């Protein structure tokens, strides 16, 4: 019998998808933090040596992976400004292909909703 993925394993699965996307976009990884609820998950630089803090959030479908906590994000954006970094957000929706009330199991197919990386504006209004 298959084992349901833990919250940490779901987070790691989401990070794998986002990490591959970042690699394909040419980012270089400076640091990776896969610990649940520790942000950012990735610290990267681009070819111009601009730093990026990447936040990865795994959600269970049908919840919308593109939504994030706006109040918390303001605090994080302040931290990024202090470090002269830009903020990227990557929401990843995961679900069981046999029904939304079922867990996602290890080594079984799953639903994936990933709309790519969103740039989060860090400028002050």
* Domains observed in the chain: 7-120 (3.40.1350.10)
49-66 pLDDT, tens digit each: 999 999 999 999 999 999
User: In the prediction, which pLDDT does 21 show?
Assistant: 98
Report the DSSP pairing between strands 42-45 and 28-32: antiparallel
**Do 18 and 42 contact (CB within 8 A), yes or no?**
yes
Give me the DSSP letters along 71-107.
HHHHHHHHHHHHTTEEEEEEEEEEEETT-TTSPPBTT
pTM greater than the 0.85 cutoff:
yes
Q: What is the pLDDT of residue 1?
A: 64
**What local confidence, expressed as pLDDT, does residue 124 receive?**
61
- pLDDT per position as a tens digit, 92-124: 999 999 998 899 999 999 999 999 999 999 876
Cα(40)–Cα(36) distance, integer angstroms: 10
pLDDT of residue 113: 97
Write the pLDDT tens digit of every residue in 6-64.
999 999 999 999 999 999 999 999 999 999 989 999 999 999 999 999 999 999 999 99
């Amino acid at each position: 019998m298959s084992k349901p993925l833990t919250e940490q394993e779901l987070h790691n699965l989401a990070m794998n998808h986002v990490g591959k996307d970042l690699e394909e976009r040419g980012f270089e990884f400076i640091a990776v933090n896969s610990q649940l609820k520790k942000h950012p998950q990735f610290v990267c630089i681009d070819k111009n040596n601009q730093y990026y803090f990447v936040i990865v959030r795994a959600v269970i479908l049908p919840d919308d992976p593109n939504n994030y906590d706006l109040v918390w994000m303001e605090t994080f954006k302040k931290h990024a400004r202090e470090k002269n970094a830009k903020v990227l957000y990557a929401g990843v929706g995961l679900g069981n292909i046999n029904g939304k009330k079922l867990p996602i199991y290890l080594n079984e197919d799953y639903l994936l909703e990933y709309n790519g990386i969103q740039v989060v504006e860090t400028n002050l209004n």
